[in-house]
Structure 1
Amino acid sequence: MSTTSQVRTNAVQTGTLYAILFAISSVHMLNDTMQAVVSALFPILQKSLELSYGQIGWIAFTLNMTSSVMQPLVGFISDKKPAPWMLPAGMGMSLIGMAGLAYAPSFWLVLLAVVFVGLGSAVFHPEGSRVVFFAAGGRRGLAQSIYQVGGNTGSSLAPLMTIFIFVPLGQRGAVWGTLLAGAAIIILLKVVPWYKKQLTLYGKPVKRAVNKVMNAEDKRERSVVAAALSILVLLVFARSWYVSGISTFYQFYVENSYGLSIRAAQVPIFLFMAAGVLGTFFGGVMADRIGRRKMILLSIGGSAPFALLLPHLALGWVYPIAFVLGFILMSGFSVTVVYAQELLPGKVGMASGLITGFAFGMGALGAVVLGKAAEVWGLANVMMYSSVLPLIGLLAILLPPDRRDDMPAKR
């Protein structure tokens, strides 16, 4: 067995611990449900506070950018000095954000509340990914998918919250989000002691051994890693901008183009996001079999034909195509994170924060740009032009082979 394999084996001696994986995945679901509260409020806030498409874009920008800017930084710091207490602390910040969002009387106070939600998510994600790393055993793709399924499930609830909570209750319904934060903190109080024990047993030895591996292979590896990360950044850019367009503005597009009500306009969004949950899980399972690179290519590049079709369909076809599109597009999300972690061994927090943080950041920028473009060129044109973004996913063919063959054999 290679030195790299020995290092990774030491980090996962306990095998795959599904109880921990499902616990941290459930917290991920609660965290991303709180973020989904913000997007679920978009149609309500647009009418109650008389917001423009551009202001809606700035709210999405604030949520995603506060998370994206902090995630790599938190990941970099936690790689050097992991801090389990950051997990419940992040949920505490989100709790404050939920309470503020429910009672914010103006656009600017909505932005302030959203900052707390975004920062809470930024603090949670890198440490959550490290918990997954320790609990994964040899099934990295499956473990990361279980974790990401939780998050995607939370995100997919936004349309349902709009239909069943915010249309009848209005903005004040966001106060129920504080219960989500409280539940997450309770679960984390069970996970944190186990996480501390893993850090004590495996954290420092793994880091020292990986540093030796990286020093020995440094000259050969750095250029390959830099090129691969650059391609991953482009892929995340394409996926994040497109998902931002669908999740933020497509509901307004179907209202205008098909004459749907606010409630009815949530259905295709929910189908897209719910299918993404399924795609995330099955993508991780498939990646453990066929490799990370192939799965990433199939995911983003394979979704391109359906994205190009979506703006031109009759209403009856929107629903099945939105479902298929969401399934394929999101099947590579968790795989991208695992691929980045394997490119940067020993830097789990930074790799996770870089990819997921950059995804949030690009989604934030995309929301602002698409919102402003919709005001200038019209929403229908923006939806049509953004449909070409998944074609950038074909660049995945340039990624170097992944390192799944170095991983311990699955049992």
Structure 2
Amino acid sequence: MRRKTQISLLAVGHACVDIYQGCVAALIPFFVAERDYGYAVASGIVLAASLLSSVAQPVFGALTDRWAMPWLLPVSTLLSGVGIALTGLTGSYGLTLVFVAVSGIGIAAYHPESARVARLVGRGSHSAMSWFSLGGNIGFALAPVMVAVAIGHGSLRWTPVLVLPALAGAALCVPVLRMLRILGRPRAGSSKAPPATSSDDLTSFVKLSLAVVFRSVVFTGLSTFISLYARQRMEGSATAGTMALFLLFLGGAVGSVLGGYLANRHDRVHVSRWSYLVSVLAVAGVIHTPGPAMLLFVALTSAGLYVPFSLQVTLGQDYLPSRIGTASGVTLGLTVSIGGLTSPLLGHLADSTSLRTALTPLIAMPALSWLLFRTLPEPPPPTPYEAA
């Protein structure tokens, strides 16, 4: 199987899983409308999706550093889909939180192993990782469209339809698992595994992780409330809300590919610094530009926040070459999902003031990421052993 085909399969599988990360945000307006939830209560659903995922991702990453667990790919894909599919079948807020948490665990289990495999197949290539990340971005972008089609003219009882991408993603895992059996590499922790030829740079990894946390806070905050905010700014138009969320997720696809392209010509740290500077202005435009013009800033914000996304994954892996799974679990998982922990705080602030006031502090988040990237070095490229 050619490398491009392998990466394509992994990217499509990634899309099938990340649809369910996007579904959580896309379902929020329907929970608010159908169940009369306030901002804080609705944002608790995002918290449930993030909380267990935040804890589980580095755990799964550490486990995949020691043992091959390819079975996680289909199992976690199904788990992520089944959890979301069940959310509309109960009027209980508690059970809704449980089902969303189940989906979050599935997403947490998927990402470290899939990122390790993408690095193996792509042989450490920035472009390969950007295409793998693109799959996730497309999944995010498709989520609001799928939710609108499935339940936009009905009710939350139609959420079981949303399990279909999980079934497709699990089926796509079959050729991927066959590929892994053929590649059959030695695992870290086994007697056959060679030692890493580069030492870990834990200090840089911690700084990188903090930068990704700040990025996560602004992206998760916007994805949770942008649909409701766009409706407010455009005279209650439900279409405007769906379009804003779609652009927020779709812009990430453009940003991921652009990030891989730029990283082949400039170092990753330099590209990320400039992207975060652009994001500061873009987020300010989203929050303070009136009318439909805000949609342009939504797209620019998404691209700006996603240019560094795949680059941060490979940076984390290069800072921790002896713990690829752990690095992937943190940069692709923990620090991304931890942004959801701040959503209830934004929700409480919005309930007591306004959405505009609650979202304004998000302008500072990419600026903090930029400050951290100013202190980061560009690590050397991985050796063949480290890429594998």
Please give the TM-score of this superposition, normalised by the length of structure 2. 0.92
Residue in structure 2 matching 1:269, options 239, 245, 248: 245
RMSD: 2.1
Aligned mates of 2:283, 2:85 — CA distance in 1: 37
Matched pairs, number: 383
Aligned mates of 1:38, 1:245 — CA distance in 2: 12
Residue in structure 2 matching 1:176, options 161, 164, 174: 161
1:127 counterpart residue number: 113
- Which structure's CA Rg is the greater one? 1
1:69 counterpart residue number: 55
Aligned mates of 1:96, 1:72 — CA distance in 2: 22
Residue in structure 2 matching 1:167, options 145, 152, 166: 152
Pair 1:147 & 2:132 matched:
yes
Shift of 1:162: 4.1
Higher helix share: 1
1:40 counterpart residue number: 26
Aligned mates of 1:28, 1:165 — CA distance in 2: 21
Contact 2:112 2:332 in 1 (8 A): no
Identity %: 25
Shift of 1:202: 7.2
Q: Structure 1 residues 341 and 205 mapped into 2: Cα distance closer, same or farther (>3 Å)? A: farther
Amino acid of the residue matched to residue 404 of structure 1? P
* 1:241-390 equivalent positions in 2, closer than 5 A: 241-390=217-366
Aligned mates of 2:119, 2:78 — CA distance in 1: 24
Aligned mates of 2:192, 2:308 — CA distance in 1: 27
Shift of 1:241: 0.9
Amino acid of the residue matched to residue 82 of structure 1? A
Q: Structure 1 residues 348 and 405 mapped into 2: Cα distance closer, same or farther (>3 Å)? A: closer
More deviation in 55-64 or 359-368?
359-368
Contact 1:41 1:166 in 2 (8 A): no
Contact 1:75 1:352 in 2 (8 A): yes
Please give the TM-score of this superposition, normalised by the length of structure 1. 0.87
Contact 2:141 2:250 in 1 (8 A): yes
2:71 counterpart residue number: 85
Amino acid of the residue matched to residue 198 of structure 1? L
Amino acid of the residue matched to residue 257 of structure 1? R
Amino acid of the residue matched to residue 228 of structure 1? S
Contact 1:134 1:198 in 2 (8 A): no
Contact 2:112 2:333 in 1 (8 A): no
Contact 2:150 2:162 in 1 (8 A): no
What does the per-residue CA deviation read over 1:61-82, in whole Å, with 9 as the maximum and x for residues that have no partner?
1112222211110010110112
1:5 counterpart residue number: none
1:7 counterpart residue number: none
For structure 2, the 5+ residue unaligned runs are none
Q: Secondary structure of 2:68's partner? A: coil
Q: Structure 1 residues 261 and 291 mapped into 2: Cα distance closer, same or farther (>3 Å)? A: same
What does the per-residue CA deviation read over 1:78-137, in whole Å, with 9 as the maximum and x for residues that have no partner?
101121111111123224313322312221111111111111111111110111011103
